[in-house]
Chains A and B, each alone.
Chain A
Amino acid sequence: MAEVKLRSIVKKYDEVEAVRGIDLDIADHEFVVLVGPSGCGKSTTLRMIAGLEDITGGDILIGGDVVNDVPPKDRDIAMVFQNYALYPHMTVEQNMSFGLRLKRYPKAEIRKRVDEAARILDIKELLGRKPKQLSGGQRQRVAMGRAIVRNPKVFLFDEPLSNLDAKLRVQMRTEIKKVHLQVRTTTVYVTHDQVEAMTLADRVVVMNHGVIEQVGTPHQLYHSPKTHFVAGFIGSPAMNFIPCRMENGAGGLSVRVTDQLAFPVPEARAAHYRPHAANGKLLLGLRPEHITEARQHLEPGAVPFEAKLEVTEPMGMETLVYFPLNGTQVCGRVNPNAGAKDGASLRLAADLNNMHLIDQATGQVI
């Protein structure tokens, strides 16, 4: 096991810059998830760590050694691919032991490792089968088993759950987490699914347009996003962004959303936001769970307002309500018994204690 360090990594395909100088330190035993939309450079970064893509600039270090020109087989890594990439003519056991056999491990050692991996993944009864006799979930387990038996320094996962159906994906997600807790190998995991990223990672790396937008724990990314992109990417339903301006009136600082509606900024945040009061291009960021039905006793910082709902989506444990506000559609989460109905008005409350303010010009969260 080892730490992985990326130093100013650049990847260019002809004139297109897929990865634009990223720096990242991944600690030993850490589970890091690279997340971002399609084409953000996350898979390219992973493939560069694997040695499947040459790097255009920068250094990659695994266990303290620069591996820029080291072929994949000598990097002591194992990779799980999105479409499993099992060898179709080999049995599960042969698939799992292929790497060890190439390295001429003793038969008893191979046997021991395959059995141990099969036990961890609960695939002992599948060892004699061919990949075509397995379901998608089983194939993915075998692909993980092939990685585990190698006992590598680093595990690399390239969107391993994307080909599974929704239910199996949740199940396998838990399996991957369990396996990591058991083997504790340094892991780099790529996904475009922010739920997967949040649930699995010790730290999440959000990428966009070939650069790292933010690195942090799932909690940090969710509650303290640094950029407009991260704020919008993490969380489902996504954070609401409402165009607004700041007003520094007699009653203190407030966020004006429409001519009729302004939210007073809680005193604790006012000092932080006051220098930006003159900025005309701001976005108020509020997560749906911070727009709820107005209860009788409002929390300090919660501001009631009337909204005409366009659509409601009952989810069972909550109801999502959508309404227009200053030219954008805003989503709130209300109690299923709050009486939200399509087309009806509802008294809602915005919790300004959890507000974010985004400078539209820089895309940074203030």
Chain B
Amino acid sequence: MATVAATANEVPARRPKYGSMSRDRQWALRWSYFFLVLFAIFFLLPPVYMLITSLKTSAEISAATNPWWVYNPTLGNYVELLTSNSYLTYFRNSAIVSVVVVTLTMLISVPAAFALARMKFWGSATLATGVFLTYLIPETLLFLPLFKMFAVFNEYTGIELINRWWVLLILYPTLTVPFCTWIMIGYFASIPKELDEAALIDGATWMQTLTKIFIPVALPGIIAATIFAFTVSWAQFLYPLAFTTSDDQLVLPVGIITSLIKGDVFNWGQIMTGALLGAAPPLIIYAFLMDYYIAGLTAGATKG
């Protein structure tokens, strides 16, 4: 005992910095909050400005007053837009196109990704890369050849594809399917191989393995892909601008621009209202699906 006590006394009195880790953490948190707030302000200012502007009359918008304040708030822009047949048509077209495109995309890309990720066949790896490469070709390069193709198609078959809202159902998947397939290949590849082997031994066919095991397990990935496909379809501008012209065939992004900008007259109040209302559906979808998106459903499948 005496030896132990003596040794203890000889140790230089150096106080360890207890809690230094938590101090580091505190600073890290402060910096993260600082940047998060900065980014939040940066990204929220435009929608706030849109909201403020949408509540103003045209006279107030053009008046030299504080643009960040509403002196005579009005819902006139909202009433006018929501009672205008054109706006409701754009909204309906956008909704139908987006929902159908998302459905089509999922019906194609989920089985495609499953086949490319799991059913190893000759050239599957090259095909998977090829799928992604098609996504890298920008639509600005594609719309002219597509336009030409549709014209030739019309020449030979007599079927008119230009200026039809439903032609967007063929066009949008060229953007959504490659990327969604790519996301899903990555997600399916992260599912342990033993899971489909167990299912195969349990007597499942490939289709049953996909529907009963892979789709439920890969739900977060499928939701991520769905969100992406919906956002792309909802916000797509170039293709509808190039391929649709009649008022009743337009979708929301193009409709707002073409009907609310007359020559050099910008109806800012209604443009902002239309854009704000147009942004609502993706927001609602994000809010509902975020929880699923974040949840890691593979927990417990294997060791860990």
- Which residues in A have some Cβ–Cβ distance to B below 8 Å? 50-52, 71-73, 77-79, 81-89, 98-99, 102-103, 130-134, 136, 139, 146, 150, 163
Contacts and interface: CB of A to CB of B under 8 A. Distances in A.
B285 interface: no
B264 interface: no
By DSSP majority rule, is chain B's interface helix, strand, loop, or mixed? helix
For A78, A89, A139, which residue has the most chain B Cβ atoms within 10 angstroms?
A: A89
A84 B302 contact: yes
Given A73-B203, A87-B217, A99-B202, A130 B300 contact: yes
B24 interface: no
Interface in B175-222: 192, 194-195, 197-205, 208, 212-213, 216-217
A86 B203 contact: no
B301 A134 contact: no
Nearest to A147: B201
A50 B199 CA distance: 12
B194 A81 contact: yes
Nearest to B298: A88
Contacts of B194: 81-85
A134 B300 CA distance: 8
Given A50-B197, A83-B302, 14 more contacts: A72-B197, A73-B202, A79-B197, A83-B194, A83-B303, A86-B301, A86-B302, A87-B213, A87-B301, A88-B217, A88-B301, A98-B202, A99-B203, A103-B203
Contacts of B201: 50-52, 72-73, 77-79, 99
A81 B200 contact: no
Nearest to B205: A73
A52 B194 CA distance: 10
B300 A88 contact: yes
Nearest to A87: B213
Given A102-B203, A136-B303, A88 B297 contact: yes
B299 interface: yes
Given A88-B217, A89-B217, A99-B203, A81 B301 contact: no
A72 B200 contact: yes
B284 to A, nearest CB: 26
A52 B200 contact: yes
16 contacts: A71-B200, A84-B194, A84-B301, A85-B301, A86-B302, A87-B195, A87-B199, A87-B217, A87-B301, A88-B217, A88-B300, A98-B199, A98-B212, A134-B300, A139-B303, A163-B303
Nearest to B196: A85
Select the residue from A77, A86, A103 with max chain B CB neighbours within 10 A: A86
Given A52-B197, A81-B197, A85-B192, A133 B300 contact: yes
A136 to B, nearest CB: 7
A71 B209 CA distance: 14
Nearest to A99: B202
Contact of B297 (A72, A79, A89, A134): A89
B197 to A, nearest CB: 5
Contacts of B299: 88, 132
A163 B197 CA distance: 19
Q: Interface centre among B198, B201, B217, B297, by most A CB within 10 Å?
A: B201
B267 to A, nearest CB: 51
